[in-house]
Amino acid sequence: MKGIIFGNGLNIKFGGKAYFNGKILRRGFSLLQQKKDVYSVVPPETLDFFKEMYKSVPDIIDGLYDNVDTSVKVELKHFKENYILKDITDIGSIGMEDYFLVLHLIFQYNRNFYRGTDNEMYYNVTAEQQAAECFRDLCLLGIYNGGKLDKLHTRYSAKFIEYINQFDSVFTTNYDVNLDAVYRGSVQHIHGQFDVLDQRYDPLSFRNMLSDNQFNKNNLINPEKYLFLHSTALMDYSGQHKFDKLMAEKNLNNITVQEIMKVPDSMVNIESKELAIEAKNKQKENPSLEFQYSKALEKYMDFSGELSIIGLSASNDNHIFVNHKKVKYMYYYYSAEDLKLAKRILPNGSIYKPVQELWDSFSS
Distance of CA 137 to the CA centre of its chain: 12
Q: What does the pLDDT look like over 67-96, one tens digit per residue?
A: 999 999 999 999 999 999 999 999 999 999
Provide mean pLDDT across the span 283-296: 90
Beta strands 327-333 and 2-6, pairing class: unpaired
Question: Does residue 11 contact residue 176 with C-beta atoms inside 8 Å?
Answer: yes
Please give the pLDDT value at position 320.
Answer: 79
Provide mean pLDDT across the span 12-31: 96
Widest distance between CA atoms in the chain: 66
DSSP string, 220-285: ----GGGGGGGBS----S-HHHHHHHHHHHHHHHH--HHHHHHS-TTTS-HHHHHHHHHHHHHHHH
The model carries a pTM of 0.92
CB 276: neighbour CB atoms within 10 A? 19
The CA distance from 254 to 251, in Å, is 5
Of 48 and 119, the structure prediction assigns the larger pLDDT to: 48
Please give the pLDDT value at position 267.
Answer: 65
Crossing angle between the packed helical segments 45-61 and 98-114, to the nearest 10 degrees = 90
Q: What does the pLDDT look like over 237-249, one tens digit per residue?
A: 987 788 787 777 7
The CA distance from 35 to 137, in Å, is 14
* Sheet strands side by side (includes 188-189): 188-189, 169-172, 2-6, 305-310, 327-333, 351-354
